[in-house]
Amino acid sequence: MPNIKSAEKRVKIIDKKTAENKAVKSRIATYAKRFKIAVENKDIATSEVAYSEVVSLLDKAASSNVIHKNSADRKKAHFAKLLDNLKKESK
């Protein structure tokens, strides 16, 4: 436990920011799961909508330093590859 008043405040701030970051990461995971389910079901229209949503969330998270920029780029590339393969299969 912190002994100094400013340290107590920092603990409260860190707890709040941790909760916010966890919520953002959870939302990214939820939308990524929706995208992967749409790809598994071979639903191109739903996959494209889910892809744009998850990419938007990843960009926002990376810009606010919730996740690293390279991590966001890597995940976006992975999802883009899945979507591209789905489109190729349907042709």
**Confidence tier at 88 by pLDDT (50, 70, 90):** very high
pLDDT tens digits, 55-83: 999 999 999 999 999 999 999 999 999 99
* pTM of the entire predicted model: 0.89
- Indicate whether 91 pLDDT > 80: no
Torsion of the alpha carbons at 16, 22, 27 and 29, rounded to the nearest 10: 180
Indicate the number of domains in the chain: 1
What confidence score (pLDDT) does residue 90 get? 83
Question: Cα–Cα distances in Å, from 82 out to 23, 32, 57?
Answer: 25, 12, 18
pLDDT tens digits, 38-62: 999 999 999 999 999 999 999 999 9
For residues 38 and 50, is the Cβ–Cβ distance under 8 A? yes
Structural domain of residue 68, as residue ranges?
5-90
| CATH number of the CATH domain containing 49 | 1.20.58.110
How many angstroms separate the CA atoms of 19 and 14, rounded? Answer: 9
What confidence score (pLDDT) does residue 1 get? 84
